[in-house]
């Protein structure tokens, strides 16, 4: 797992570090690591280091000190360094002295740099950039490397509610912070510099690709189609038959067990996935080990009746799409249900369920709903957040927004359902499915082309094959 740490956790680890090393050592380690990343970026972008120009935007905190000491290291590599001090009276005195001693200079304008280092605000800062800083950042035309996090982006929630830096690279020290997952588009590439922190378990975690591959259900020598997991899917309607095709297709692609389908889109489902076993009605479905209910089902009385019957079983259930709309007015059907239950809302569906939008603190909002209802909740987005009562919270940063297309959520719910049927617990199944789903979207887009849900579905199997290569 990769941990993403809160400000409080980082501060506690830093306080411990300060008791173990001499004063100033952590900042020197951070500054040296920052300087190395800046030099490597200069080399990549301009072909060299010596003779290049770097401008430091320096605030009053330790991040400003990191930037100033890094500037001194860069001067020794022959880089021309100028520092723009946003609060000269409160600039880090030792860092400023080191920069000046190395031949760096203080300036009032940005100049024409090859790179800009953003050392304006650190993890103690909150809220948007102040006007003077925003004005400076608005004039930057060079790539930006941020120190620890892009200034103006909230370190815990990743929220941006005004002017902020959009970095090309973020260099963080000792630990990944929550902002790096929750506001990835603002952070750019994130580079971690080890400064010697001793870390406890993070309050927000992401599954590494090798972990996903190692846990993915693969047929064993003793398995048959039943032991690998049988998932039942209630999806689709006369108006939305494609939802059934996409949802069953996701389940078929996810595992080698069996997919059973009940709904009005049998012909379309079988035309796309002839291995699906279709039933004429709910009572004829046969034995399943998990259910997916909701995509494209509608919200009429018959849809409510099926939802009640599915949730009345003692099986794991994924509740998605139209079924979430029904739950918003019938929450008693799912609150503190004894069997594993996973809700997969987008922001609008979340608001209907919770009575309020997720807001800037998406992690806190998802945790609150999960605890209040006694279920696992997956809130969709570029940074998908998954929370369950009394369990770690997971995040999947998709690396892009290619999956933001109609029907992609139907594919995701099918994948999750198949993993639940294979015996995985809901939060892990959701985290694994979100990782493979986003990877499939990126593969389908090939990094540059908009996609729809159909090519995303066709890339689920290649995505699983790819995550499996990390453990084979």
Query: Binding site for (6S)-NADPHX, residues?
Result: 62-66, 122-128, 148, 243, 296, 346, 410
Return binding residues: 62-66, 118, 122-128, 148, 151, 243, 296, 346, 380-384, 409-410
Cross-strand bridge partners of residue 172: 192
Closest CA to 3 of 457, 395, 398, 429: 395
Return binding residues for AMP: 380-384, 409
Annotate 81-113 with b (16+ C-beta within 10 A) or e (fewer).
bbbbbbeeeebbeebbebbbebebebeeebeeb
Task: Name the 3-class secondary structure at 286.
Answer: coil
Q: What is each CA distance from 314 to 64, 231, 330, 421, in whole angstroms? A: 56, 14, 19, 13
DSSP state of 147: E
Tokens, residue 77: 């590599």
Q: What is each CA distance from 264 to 127, 282, 286, 296, in whole angstroms? A: 50, 11, 17, 10
Q: What is each CA distance from 305 to 2, 265, 282, 413, in whole angstroms? A: 42, 18, 10, 20
Return binding residues for K(+): 63, 118, 151
Closest CA to 324 of 302, 300, 344, 354: 344
- Look-up: residue for tokens 């570029």? 382
DSSP state of 130: P
């Amino acid at each position: 797992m990769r941990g993403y740490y809160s400000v409080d956790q980082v501060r506690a680890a830093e306080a411990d570090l300060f008791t173990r090393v001499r004063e100033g050592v952590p900042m020197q380690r951070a500054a040296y690591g920052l300087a190395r990343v800046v030099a490597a970026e200069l080399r990549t972008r301009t072909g060299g280091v010596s003779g290049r120009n770097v401008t430091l935007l320096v605030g009053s905190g330790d991040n400003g000190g990191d930037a100033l000491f890094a500037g001194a290291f860069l001067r020794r590599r022959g880089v021309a360094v100028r520092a723009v001090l946003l609060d000269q009276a409160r600039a880090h005195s030792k860092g400023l002295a080191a920069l000046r001693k190395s031949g760096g200079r203080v300036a009032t304008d940005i100049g024409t740099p090859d790179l800009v280092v953003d050392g304006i605000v650190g993890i103690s800062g909150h809220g948007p950039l102040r006007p003077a800083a925003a004005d400076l950042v608005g004039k930057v035309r060079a790539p930006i490397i941020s120190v620890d996090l892009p200034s103006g982006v909230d370190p815990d929630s990743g929220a941006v509610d005004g002017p902020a830096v959009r970095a090309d690279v973020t260099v963080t020290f000792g630990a990944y912070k929550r902002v790096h997952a929750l506001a990835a588009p603002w952070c750019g590439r994130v580079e971690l510099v080890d400064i010697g922190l001793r870390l406890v378990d993070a309050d927000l975690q992401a599954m590494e690709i090798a972990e996903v591959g190692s846990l993915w259900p693969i047929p064993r020598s003793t398995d048959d189609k039943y032991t690998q997991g049988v998932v039942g899917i209630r999806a689709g309607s006369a108006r939305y038959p494609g939802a059934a095709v996409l949802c069953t297709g996701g389940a078929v692609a996810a595992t080698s067990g069996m997919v059973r389908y009940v709904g009005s889109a049998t012909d379309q489902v079988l035309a796309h996935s002839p291995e699906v076993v279709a039933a004429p009605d709910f009572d004829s479905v046969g034995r399943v080990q998990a259910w997916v209910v909701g995509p494209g089902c509608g919200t009429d009385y018959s849809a409510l009746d099926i939802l009640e019957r599915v949730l009345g079983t003692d099986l794991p259930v994924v509740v998605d799409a139209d079924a979430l709309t029904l739950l918003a007015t019938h929450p008693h059907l799912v609150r503190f249900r004894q069997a594993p239950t996973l809700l997969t809302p987008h922001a609008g569906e979340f608001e209907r369920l919770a009575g309020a939008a997720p807001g800037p603190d998406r992690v806190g909002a998802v945790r609150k709903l999960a605890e209040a209802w006694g279920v696992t909740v997956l809130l969709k987005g570029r940074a998908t957040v998954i929370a369950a009562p009394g369990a770690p919270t997971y995040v999947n940063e998709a690396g892009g927004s290619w999956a933001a297309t109609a029907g992609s959520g139907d594919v995701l719910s099918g994948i999750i359902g198949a993993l639940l049927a294979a015996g995985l617990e809901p939060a892990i199944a959701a985290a694994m499915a979100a990782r493979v789903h986003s990877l499939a979207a990126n593969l389908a887009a090939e990094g540059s082309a908009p996609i729809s849900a159909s090519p995303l579905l066709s890339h689920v199997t290649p995505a699983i094959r790819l995550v499996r290569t990390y453990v084979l």
